[in-house]
A and B are shown apart, each in its own frame.
Chain A
Amino acid sequence: MRQFLIEQFVTSDGLEITAIDGAMLMEGTIECVGGIRIDVEKRIAVLVEDGMDSLVQTESYSYNVSVRNLGNVFRYDSPHITHNLFDHKHTVDPFVEGGEETIEPIYDSEDVPTLSEVISEAREWYYDNLDGLG
């Protein structure tokens, strides 16, 4: 996160972490340049408690990237309890009104992005679409 702040793509980090039973809940919004917003919901299990060296693991997540006044761009979700019972990515073209959303399953856990990778992808999208953002 620090790196993204230094590079000035991320303008504010509004993430908060709360302790719940056996895990931590990370939630909030990361504001970025160009009106890009990343809404984060993440459940992090504590596997081995050891202060700063605790072993933790993401159990579930939702990372939604949107653009102010345009709408959603993409969202990564862990398996839902009702449908899309696998890691998956929603993608929509915010420049197309009523554009169709595509859902892409992620079968290999190695392909599930970290939050940093999501921020990087949002940054890449921003620079690829700079002209359209005006």
Chain B
Amino acid sequence: MRQDERAEALAALVAATKNGSVKAANSMLDARIRQFEIRYEMSSAELKEGLATGDLRETAEIARWLFLLGTRERRVSG
């Protein structure tokens, strides 16, 4: 990608974070969290409880799940 193309793509991406046209991306976030819930056969609430009590151990995959949850929570709280 040329420098000017990169600049244009980045500007569009930055603008998209502000102009509210990110419904699809947010749905993607929800869908990816749901994939983890299906794979691990537990809800995100159960995951959080398990980690907080020490019943569950954090793995690299669980860290990714937590990252998505944290990202979603930031979105909701603005």
A35-55, CB under 8 A of B: which get 1 and which 0?
A: 000010101001001011010
Which A residues are in CB contact (< 8 Å) with B71?
Answer: 20, 23, 25, 43, 60
A3 within 8 A of B: no
A46 touches B52 (CB 8 A): no
What distance in Å separates the Cβ of A38 from its nearest Cβ neighbour in chain B?
Answer: 11
Cross-interface CB contact of B64 among A39, A59, A83, cutoff 8 Å: A39
> Which residues in chain B, 47-73, are within 8 Å of chain A measured between CB atoms?
47-48, 51-52, 58, 60, 63-64, 66-71, 73
**How many CB-defined contacts (below 8 Å) exist between A and B?**
103
B25 touches A20 (CB 8 A): yes
Which A residues are in CB contact (< 8 Å) with B28?
Answer: 18
B10 touches A59 (CB 8 A): no
Known interface pairs A20-B75, A24-B17, A81-B70; 12 further A-B residue pairs with C-beta atoms within 8 A, sorted by A's residue number: A19-B21, A25-B29, A39-B60, A39-B64, A41-B67, A46-B14, A60-B70, A62-B67, A64-B63, A82-B47, A82-B52, A83-B52
A-B contact pairs, 7 of them (CB 8 A): A20-B22, A20-B26, A39-B60, A49-B15, A80-B58, A81-B48, A82-B48
